[in-house]
Chain A
């Protein structure tokens, strides 16, 4: 209320003078401000509706399974009609973590190359390519993953990986091509543009005095880069969490390469698995009865919750980090 009063003072103090003013020259101003405020406020409505609709849609499933939905390990729409999403949650998290393990070091390298190593003009051109990579639709990554990446990994990478590390259970078992590791790799490829662009921006906001100081001490380029990373570390952590959020919600590409098999734990990194987003994409249209549909919407609710927590955390960290480094730079 207080806030509204601040924005529209004349609606609350309708004395004759301000009323006349509102009627005459400034009428348009208030109308325009009112309209733009209403449009801006619609974000509350949208987010509220998203939460409300997903809770409403999954209510039947929540009532039937309760917390068992999150810890249950059966997904049997055909016979017993029991739904538990733990394997999906694990599949989502494990593939995302693999994506981070592969993607973060590469993104860090790209961020450093663009901000520290490459000459500025060249850096702009490469930045443009990285941004193009971010614009490629998810489904095209999936198509490429199915018909180019999978055969390549199956024929040229996985057999050697197995030959060297085969004694570890993680790398044993049959190789299909698609599977957990392939899913992680495609996710890594997809988060690299986003994460490395944020890292580049972070490194570019580090004030030059930092670089000059460490170089004056006789540091090598790498030691300078380490100082830069350390200076921007909280932002780097935020960027990584943001990448995690993106990986967790990714749907089409991972659906096309992970193999889509529901089981609690895969026998190896080459085995097929499932994720929350993939099961919604695959089964929502084929779900035939209310409880089944409700269970799938419930998966969506869990996914929403996970990504909300991850994203809010990441935004807060990145915001704070960018403001901190910028604030110091201004001094």
Chain B
């Protein structure tokens, strides 16, 4: 009976530890949300959304240029990243039961495991050194980060489309490629859009590759061969600066960023609900 009691005590202890672990893992989430919302909210006013980065010593100022710059960078990155990822995903799902596709799948995983700072250094040597710190370089770096995410989610989305749907379309005499585009892609539309949204959420929060390939910029968009301001990078630069006004702006930018990123994640989650 004694040994039994020992086992019960051990069981209770383990249960306590498991729930403690869960608690410890969730505390940072709530703390981050709480602090960012509370401190960020006090930084937000109308000026915050319509004015660019203030100069040192200037009071007020905002992040309008950073919002503009982030949108431009994400747009350009998606222009490269979405087609490449989408087509790679189509290849892996529709033509993908060969050794080649296993290798490609593995390499996609390898690429997604490369740290974003290394992607940044790669972009720095490949692009920044020849055409200078520019929004093109940053967009390229973010596109490289985007590709494996879009590829993976597209492949998974297409694989969920039942074979019978493809067979039905082909039986009607529709060519294979038309079947893929009009039937398969459109029935997996929601899941593919979700994947793209998630990849956008991911690159919107990337600051390390943006820092080394484009650098910090305090002004408005001034051409594709010049840098633009960036929300995530603003958080870093402002937070590390000794100026109180900039630190306040860092919290404000963090709030906008976290709303953007978590908002996209939640929308993506709702879009795919009932699918899994």
Contact = CB atoms under 8 A, between A and B. Distances in A.
A221 B236 contact: no
Interface residues of A, number: 90
Contact of A106 (B25, B92, B113): B25
B174 to A, nearest CB: 10
Contacts of B206: 137-138
B104 interface: yes
B72 to A, nearest CB: 18
Contact of A135 (B21, B117, B247, B265): B265
Given A139-B232, A144-B36, A220-B11, A36 B175 contact: no
Contacts of B222: none
A113 B119 CA distance: 36
A139 B232 CA distance: 7
Greatest chain B CB density within 10 A among A46, A147, A277 is at: A46
B29 A29 contact: no
Interface of A is mostly: helix
Contacts of B168: none
Interface string B73-102: 000000000011001101110110011110
Interface stretch (B12-20, B41-49, B54-62): B12-20
Interface residues of B, number: 90
B254 interface: yes
A245 B110 CA distance: 11
Contacts of B67: none
Contacts of B163: none
A36 B87 contact: yes
B115 A248 contact: yes
Contacts of A113: 18-19, 21-22
Contacts of B215: 285
A108 B206 CA distance: 28
Interface in B158-202: 175-178, 180-181, 201-202
A212 interface: no
A251 B211 CA distance: 11
Contacts of B257: 137, 139-140
Counting from the closest, the 4 A-B pairs by CB-CB distance are A109-B21, A249-B115, A137-B205, A39-B87
Given A143-B251, A147-B35, A312-B110, 9 more contacts: A53-B125, A113-B19, A117-B15, A136-B262, A137-B258, A139-B257, A220-B10, A248-B115, A251-B208
